[in-house]
């Protein structure tokens, strides 16, 4: 069966994911070492140790994301996170930074290393480089690849691949985007945040709700229409005579129906996005996907996804997995 | 401190490329990186200009490196990347894929699309043969200073994005084609219509971004004109100037004059405001509250 | 691009008009005292909530259940809750507005906060970061109003528990914590 890798932003979400059938949970420490450094979210050292114990007792793994790029002059903060993840009994760490990968390979050789999507390793040459140089065992593929491309990659590499199947969709190559810091000064790579809430302002202006990020208007929605969070790349903008979602519509990824194709493409693990979401989201999405991977493994038809209302814009796309997305 | 001209992010005609590098040979810059780093589909239209440009630039005494693509997914693109390493010229990697093809120990340069945020990464790249690193544009001055110091210790020259619309993101999807309701595979090269990128404003008319094929850049042109002293104090070895239309060699001369003390940064900034596409400058990544911020705004009133 | 048809969940229940009207003349001072006492109990029982909130615990958040005749100004650090009329709203750092059922559903883990926001059942104004922190802290705490009230009621507890369960069935409001197995659709 394909491994189902599920998000947890809080200990409660971790328990919900395990009980809903997650094979593995990924989570991070409550600081800038992880790419979901949101207010009120993430794990203390004690919470991680308890979470690992809870998961292991029920046969699930815990993967710790330490996937921002350490700040120059402050690397010890990231190095401590690695050591503490190992102490807590993490089954793997998810890393993006070259220096941090080198440090882990040298100082924590027995700690399994996964390559974060933030490293944007999008072809066999790059993946093999990470595998050879740092002993990376699994690569989370960037969300810019089609299913055929994923299949071709798997034919040329010896490490496992993990792909996103549900949740928020980055339209840019991850780990290589500074749109957020251009508008707000805070970025995924440096601070673990994208379009941070601290820089979001909503204002009811006449019949519309305006959402601004760092002072830039990201969209205006009529009262009562679905309101996307002002994530910069999903905003509504104007170029010459055209107005619209120039980068991406406010939709999110749902690749449930592609699970058999992804299995044929050699993918080992399916990842659900959403460490910033609630335990209600986690439980519902995990249960739905657990049923889907079980159906796939048994060669049965996949259950219809009923998750649309949890998604942004309440609409879903298969994203780059279909080549026409480009 | 000296000047490096980065690879052109935009899709220009072969003739425009030829004229650009012929003029650049006379500009006061120490080195030039040339090559396609945004979209491999453009390359057939202008790659024949590269050998001549390299020859002209080298004859004018400039160091030259070839840039890799920033996002490499197709087999054809991997082949292109492997071919770069076989030319014998220095290669500037803008994706780690290129490193796979460069034998360990062979010197290479690192472009701004490779994530060098800390000393550990810089040292690892230096160990593989990196001799120059252009830092990601979003780094603040404190990080630049730490990395410039680490670079000196590791024998790596550290460069900073000095002028040009900021490369903020790269995608598998082509936004130019999307704006024309076309798929990337049938783009009909519409990005050629916008030689400095196509502007994207907010719904309230704020100037914000430009799209350039699969790349998204800032609408403002980043300029370190007012930051040159701070960067010199930090130990930065070079400023990177990114090509634009208009009098680019004149812009190069302007920066060279500030480096040589013949012109103040404020004078250069005042000149640049009339020379950059869109007429807006920014330097906020280095020391401001956000990348779009311009430290000269208060002074200019 | 493939776009799935939007699945819609059954609409969140709104308080019946009659009930809203019945609540209108309620004196606000006792409501404030009662809700402050309840909030204090919740915060004491879940100390991790304040830790998660960090500096956001000091923010004044206006909880505005649009089908009630009053809004609630809350500060997590002091566990103070003050009921106030809409024509005299006090200064606040952030405001969350929506039907009472949406707040209760989010509080009890029956609904995802983001989903409620995407669907516009809840709207946010002001300090978005404080609202997110509050939502995340509450989600982790796995609060259960029925249990808290019943426990506080001592010998009256079992009776209250039954009454609240009945109220939940009739009103459609989420009044107890959703378990991770079984309760969700």
ipTM comes to 0.96
Question: Domain spanning B2-167+219-300 has what CATH number?
Answer: 3.20.20.70
What are the start and end residues of each CATH 3.20.20.70 domain in chain A?
3-169+251-325
- Say yes or no: C128 contacts chain A, CB-CB below 8 A: yes
Q: Which of residues 149-208 of A touch B (CB under 8 A)?
A: 149, 152, 171-173, 175-179, 181-185, 187, 189-190
Phi-psi region of A23 (alpha: psi -120 to 50; beta: other; left: phi over 0): alpha
Domain A3-169+251-325 belongs in CATH node 1.20.1250.20? no
For tokens 């204002």, what's the residue?
A: A203
Q: Which top CATH class is C17-142?
A: alpha beta
Give chain A positions within 8 Å (CB) of C142. 12, 279
Q: Which of residues 98-117 of A touch B (CB under 8 A)?
A: 98-100, 102-103
Is B125's CB within 8 Å of A98's CB? yes
- SS3 track for B241-276: ECCCCCCHHHHHHHHHHHHCCCCCHHHHHHHHHCCC
* φ, ψ for residue A216, nearest 5 deg: -90, 130
H helices of chain B, in order, are 14-24, 43-46, 49-59, 75-85, 97-101, 119-128, 141-154, 175-179, 228-234, 248-259, 265-273, 284-287, 296-300
Report the DSSP beta bridge partners of residue B209: B200, B218
- Give the HSE-up count for residue B161: Cα atoms under 13 Å, Cβ half-sphere: 28
Is A185's CB within 8 Å of B284's CB? yes
Inter-CA distances, B51 with B55, B59, B80, Å: 6, 12, 15
pTM, two decimals, is: 0.93
Q: A69, A308 in Cβ contact below 8 A?
A: no
Helix (H) or strand (E) holding A99, with range, is helix A98-107
Q: A125, B145 in Cβ contact below 8 A?
A: no
Give chain C positions within 8 Å (CB) of A287. 184
Q: B265, B208 in Cβ contact below 8 A?
A: no
Going from the first residue of chain A to its last (326 residues), give the mean pLDDT of each consecutive group of 10, the final group possibly shorter: 97 97 97 90 97 98 97 97 98 98 98 96 95 97 90 97 91 93 96 91 87 95 77 93 89 88 97 93 94 93 70 66 72
> Which of the residues in chain C have pLDDT under 50?
1-8, 185
B188-209 burial, b at 16+ Cβ within 10 Å, e below that, comes to eebbbebbbbbbbbbbeeebbb
Residue-range domain boundaries for chain C: 17-142, 144-177
Size of interface A-B (CB pairs under 8 A): 216
Is A69's CB within 8 Å of B119's CB? no
Q: C113, C98 in Cβ contact below 8 A?
A: no
Q: Show the tokens assigned to A324.
A: 């026409």
Cα–Cα distance, B219 to B217 (Å, whole number): 6
Report the DSSP beta bridge partners of residue B71: none
Residues with Cβ within 8 Å of residue C159, at least 6 apart in sequence = none
Per residue in C119-154, pLDDT tens? 788 988 889 899 999 999 999 999 999 999 999 888
- At residue A314, the pLDDT reads 53
Residue among A143, A187, A233 minimizing CB distance to B138: A187
Can you point out the beta strands (E) in B146-231? 157-170, 198-202, 207-212, 215-223
Q: Show the tokens assigned to B110.
A: 């690192």
Q: What is the pLDDT along chain B (301 residues), one digit of tens a residue?
A: 999 999 999 999 999 999 999 999 999 999 999 999 999 999 999 999 999 999 999 999 999 999 999 999 889 999 999 999 888 899 999 999 999 999 988 999 999 999 999 999 999 999 999 999 999 999 999 999 999 999 999 999 999 999 999 999 999 889 999 999 888 888 889 999 999 999 999 999 999 999 999 999 999 999 999 999 999 999 999 999 999 999 999 999 999 999 999 999 999 999 999 999 999 999 999 999 999 999 998 654 4
* φ, ψ for residue A279, nearest 5 deg: -65, -25
Q: A25, A18 in Cβ contact below 8 A?
A: yes
Residue among C5, C113, C129 minimizing CB distance to A278: C113
Cα–Cα distance, C65 to C69 (Å, whole number): 8
DSSP classification of residue C6 = P
Is A197's CB within 8 Å of C132's CB? yes
Inter-CA distances, B120 with A111, A142, B146, Å: 19, 24, 11
H helices of A265-314, in order, are 279-297
Inter-CA distances, B87 with B50, B94, B101, B102, Å: 12, 17, 12, 11
Is C8's CB within 8 Å of A309's CB? yes
Calculate ∠ Cα A220-A223-A229, nearest 5°.
50
B257 CB neighbour count, 10 Å cutoff: 16
What are the DSSP calls for C72-95, one per residue? EEEETTTTEEEEEEGGGPPP-SEE
B20-50 burial, b at 16+ Cβ within 10 Å, e below that, comes to bbeebbebebebbbbbbbbbbbbbebbeebb
| Nearest-CA distance B115 → chain A (Å) | 8
Is A238's CB within 8 Å of B202's CB? yes
Is A280's CB within 8 Å of C178's CB? yes
Q: Is beta strand B31-34 parallel, antiparallel or unpaired with respect to A92-95?
A: unpaired
């Amino acid at each position: 069966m394909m491994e189902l890798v599920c998000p947890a932003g809080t200990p409660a979400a971790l328990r919900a994911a395990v009980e809903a059938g997650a094979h593995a949970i990924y989570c991070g420490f409550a600081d800038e070492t992880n790419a979901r450094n949101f207010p009120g979210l993430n794990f203390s050292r004690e919470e991680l140790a308890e979470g690992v114990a809870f998961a292991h007792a029920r046969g699930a793994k815990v993967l710790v994301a330490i996937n921002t790029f350490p700040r120059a002059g402050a690397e010890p903060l990231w190095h401590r996170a690695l050591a503490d993840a190992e102490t807590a009994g993490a089954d793997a760490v998810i890393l993006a930074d070259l220096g941090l990968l080198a440090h882990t390979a040298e100082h924590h050789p027995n700690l399994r290393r996964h390559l974060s999507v933030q490293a944007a390793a999008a072809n066999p040459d790059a993946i093999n480089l990470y595998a050879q140089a740092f002993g990376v065992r699994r690569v989370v593929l960037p969300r810019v690849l089609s299913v055929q491309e994923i299949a071709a990659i798997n034919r040329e590499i010896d490490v496992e691949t993990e792909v996103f199947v549900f949740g928020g969709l980055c339209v840019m190559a991850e780990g290589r985007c500074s749109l957020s810091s251009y508008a707000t000064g805070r970025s995924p790579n440096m601070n673990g945040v994208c379009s941070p809430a601290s820089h979001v302002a909503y204002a009811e202006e006449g019949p519309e709700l305006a959402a601004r990020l760092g002072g830039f208007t990201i969209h205006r929605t009529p009262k009562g229409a679905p309101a996307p969070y002002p994530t910069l790349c999903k905003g509504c903008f104007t170029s010459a005579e055209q107005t619209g979602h120039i980068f991406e519509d406010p939709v999110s990824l749902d690749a449930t129906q592609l699970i058999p194709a992804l299995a044929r493409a050699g993918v080992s693990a399916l990842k659900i996005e959403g460490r910033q979401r609630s335990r209600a989201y986690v439980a519902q999405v995990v249960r739905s996907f657990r049923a889907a991977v079980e159906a796939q493994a048994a060669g049965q038809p996949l259950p219809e996804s009923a998750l649309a209302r949890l998604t942004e814009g309440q609409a879903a796309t298969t994203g780059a997995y279909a080549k026409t997305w480009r | 401190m000296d000047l490096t001209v980065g690879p052109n992010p935009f899709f220009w005609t072969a003739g425009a490329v030829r004229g650009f590098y012929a003029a650049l040979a006379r500009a006061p810059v120490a080195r030039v990186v040339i090559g396609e780093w945004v979209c491999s589909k453009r390359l057939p239209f202008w790659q024949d200009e590269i050998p001549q440009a390299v020859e002209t630039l080298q004859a004018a005494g400039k160091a030259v490196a070839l840039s890799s693509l920033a996002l490499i997914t197709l087999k054809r693109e991997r082949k292109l990347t492997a071919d770069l390493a076989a030319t014998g010229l220095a290669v500037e990697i803008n994706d780690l894929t290129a490193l796979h093809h460069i034998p360990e120990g062979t010197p290479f340069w690192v472009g701004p699309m490779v994530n060098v945020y800390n000393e550990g990464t810089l040292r690892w790249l230096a160990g593989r043969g990196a001799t120059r690193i252009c830092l990601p544009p979003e780094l603040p001055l404190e990080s630049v200073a730490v990395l410039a110091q680490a670079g000196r210790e590791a024998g790596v020259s550290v460069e900073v994005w000095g002028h040009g619309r900021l490369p903020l993101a790269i995608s598998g999807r082509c936004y130019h084609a999307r704006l024309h309701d076309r798929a990337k595979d049938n783009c009909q090269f519409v990005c050629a219509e916008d030689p400095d990128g196509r502007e994207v404003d907010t719904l309230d008319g704020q100037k914000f971004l430009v799209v350039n094929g699969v790349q998204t850049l800032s609408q403002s042109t980043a300029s370190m004109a007012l930051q040159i002293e701070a960067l010199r104090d930090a130990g930065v070895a070079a400023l990177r100037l990114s090509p634009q239309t208009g009098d680019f060699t004149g812009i190069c001369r302007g920066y060279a004059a500030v480096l040589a003390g013949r012109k103040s940064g404020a004078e250069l900034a005042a000149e640049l405001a009339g020379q950059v596409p869109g007429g807006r400058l920014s330097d906020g990544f280095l020391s401001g509250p956000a990348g779009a911020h311009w430290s000269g705004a208060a002074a200019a009133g | 691009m493939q776009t799935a048809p939007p699945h819609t969940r059954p609409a969140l229940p709104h308080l019946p008009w009659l009930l809203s009207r019945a609540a209108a003349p309620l004196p606000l001072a006792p409501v404030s005292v009662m809700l402050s006492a309840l909030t204090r109990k919740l915060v004491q029982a879940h100390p991790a909530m304040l830790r998660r909130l960090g500096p956001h615990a000091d923010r004044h958040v206006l909880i505005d259940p649009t089908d009630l005749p009053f809004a609630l100004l809350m500060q997590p650090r002091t566990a103070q809750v003050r009921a106030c009329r809409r024509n005299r709203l006090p200064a606040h750092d952030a405001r969350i507005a929506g039907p009472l059922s949406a707040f209760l559903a989010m509080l009890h883990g029956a609904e995802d906060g983001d989903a409620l926001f995407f669907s516009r059942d809840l709207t946010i104004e002001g300090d978005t970061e404080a609202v997110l922190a509050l939502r995340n802290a509450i989600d982790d705490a796995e609060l259960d109003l029925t249990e808290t009230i019943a426990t506080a009621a001592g010998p009256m507890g079992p009776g209250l528990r039954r009454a609240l369960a009945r109220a939940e069935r009739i009103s459609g409001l989420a009044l107890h914590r959703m378990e991770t197995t079984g309760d969700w659709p």
